[in-house]
Structures are given as C-alpha cells and as structure tokens.
Amino acid sequence: MDTNIAVERFLSSPALSDATRRAYAADLRDFSTWLRGEGLELDDLDVRTLAAYTAELGRARRGLAPTTIARRLSAVRSLARHALGPARVPDAALAPRRPRRLPETPALSEVESAVDAAAGRDGGPLALRNAALLELVYSCGLRSAEAVGLDLGDVDLDREHLHVRGKGNKERLVPVGEEAAWLLARWLRDGRPQLARGACDALFVSVRGNRLDTSVLRRLLPNPHRLRHAYATHLLEGGADLRTIQELLGHASLSTTQIYSHVDARRLRRVYDHAHPRS
C-alpha cells in the first residue's frame, strides 16, 4: 500500500471535520516522509515501527512538545484505523506524559475590558455583535466552535438558557447570565437585522450575512479559549463543585475537569479556615 495515497484518501474522508483535516495533514505527511526514509510503507506499521517514530519525534533536534507528539501519534493511529482496519492499530501507550496544568486564566477585570473594547463607542451592529459574542463565550463557558455554531433557536432569553451542541454532537443546556442576556437581546433587536441576509439561522452573522467562523473570535481575543477557563475558574472560586462544572463545560469525563482541582482545593482551604474551630 502506497503511504502517500493512503494519507490522501484518509484526509479526503467525509468523516473528518475541516479542523481535524487541517490538523492531521502536516502530521501525516511528516510520518509518510519518515516511513519512506526508513524504507517502509504503511503496511509495515506495528508497535516497533511506531515506537521508533515516537523516538524520532522525541529527539532533541525536533524540540516537539509532549502535546504535539501525542497529536501526531493520534493522527497516525487514525490513519492506520482507516487504511488497515482497527485490528492493525498499535495500542501501546507511547506518547510522553503531558503535564496537567491550569491554563492561564484572565481576571474578571480583563474579561470586562475585552468586552468593553469589543463593544466600542459607535454602538453599530458589529460592535453589538462582538460584545454579545465575547460575553456569551464567558458567561456560558463555550468553545469557539460552539459559539459560532449557535442558531437563533438555541437561545431562550425568557428562561435565560442556551442549547449548545458540543464535541461529538453532544448537547447540553447552559444558563445564560443577565449581562449576556442583555447584550444578546440588544444584538438581536438592533444589530443582527442590519446584517442578516436571506434565511440564515445563525445567531452570529458576518457583515455579509453569513455564519461567523472562529477566526472572528481570535481577532477579538487572541486566545478566546481563555474565557472558557475563566468561566470554570470563577465558578469554582464562587463555590460550584467540579461535577457541576463538568456538566456545564460539556466534558465527557470528570478527569478532564479535574485540571481545575487545585483551584477547588484553594477554595476548600478558605472554607476550612473560616469554619473549623481548630483551623
């Protein structure tokens, strides 16, 4: 089996999202080049071959982070599953352990400044949209793709909740804060009608009336995912438990949410110091 052909067939699969296809393309072409340099093809893939490739990725001259190595190995396994079948996928745990650390979290004042800056001074439709978008991402802890994927029917301002479609098309209901509800109402009343074209159901639209893509969020805030981390951190600091945060974030496993556990530990220490007579 020609590895390059297998890679191109895999990347053209309709089962892949555009984002996954872009992320995997360079990784798999790098793997294909390495295989050819070793005189191998995809049919030769086994645990020893994958271990050798992992060692190559980990050499100092490459300087790759553990997360990057893990992503590349995931891409190779996905390719093997598609081209060779599940039985041929090496299942050894080869990726280096990734350090679990709390992502950098903006303070509330920084969030407020970002929303204020997005709102601008002219009160035009783009300013209304940008302020509502950023506030909603923070108020509901949304991923960028979740935010731009919202439809008009996903918003219930009367009940102040949001219907969100997350990873793997998993759905959840998330409460909407008063500030976000107010900005959304202004956008829907005064901003969106000026930009919407045709029958587009997207909640947030571009100047041409099309659904936004995530690049708009990145222009407003270089790393919009930090707002999601701020959402989780501020809820924990305010007294919410990890299980509740897990549901609100749409994490499939509590272990993913536990990256915030040392924030929760600090909160519990404050409660203990305040409440226990021997503290």
Give the domain CATH number at 55.
Answer: 1.10.150
- Residues catalogued as catalytic: 143, 167, 225, 228, 251, 260
pLDDT, residue 61, reads 53
In total, the chain counts a number of residues equal to 279
**Amino acid (1-letter code) at residue 22:** R
How crowded is the C-beta side of 126, counted as CA atoms within 13 Å? 10
Query: Is the domain of 39 the same as that of 127?
Result: no
Spatial strand order in the sheet of 161-165? 155-156, 161-165, 171-175
Please tell me whether residue 11 adopts helix, strand or coil conformation.
helix
Identify the bridge partners of residue 165 per DSSP, sorted by sequence position: 171
pLDDT, residue 206, reads 93
Classify residue 94: in a domain, yes or no. no
How crowded is the C-beta side of 47, counted as CA atoms within 13 Å? 6
Q: Please report which helix (H) or strand (E) contains residue 25, including its range.
A: helix 18-37
pLDDT, residue 101, reads 58
CATH number of the structural domain spanning residue 178: 1.10.443.10
> CA 5 to CA 144: how far, in whole Å?
33
| Spatial contact of 118 and 108, defined as CB atoms under 8 Å apart | no
Tell which of 55, 88, 121 closes a domain.
Answer: 88
Query: Is the domain of 8 the same as that of 124?
Result: no
- At a CB cut-off of 8 Å and minimum separation 6, what does 253 contact? 246
Query: Is the domain of 112 the same as that of 33?
Result: no
pLDDT, residue 202, reads 94
- Which of 13, 51, 186 lies closest to 115, judged by CA? 186
pLDDT, residue 175, reads 93
pLDDT, residue 214, reads 92
> CA 188 to CA 152: how far, in whole Å?
9
Give me the average pLDDT of each 10-residue run along the chain (279 residues): 87 86 89 91 88 80 74 88 86 60 71 82 87 93 94 94 90 92 94 86 93 91 88 84 88 76 62 66
Distances in Å between the Cα of 184 and the Cα atoms of 129, 181, 216, 220, 265 are: 8, 5, 17, 17, 35
Write out the two tokens for 15: 């089962």
Write out the two tokens for 185: 């109402």
Classify residue 119: in a domain, yes or no. yes
Give pTM, 2 decimals: 0.61
Could you give the angle at the alpha carbon of 11 between the alpha carbons of 6 and 14, nearest 5°?
120
pLDDT, residue 73, reads 86
Write out the two tokens for 172: 């959840």
Tell which of 88, 116, 147 closes a domain.
Answer: 88
Task: Report the domain count for the chain.
Answer: 2
pLDDT, residue 192, reads 94
Domain that holds residue 147: 108-272
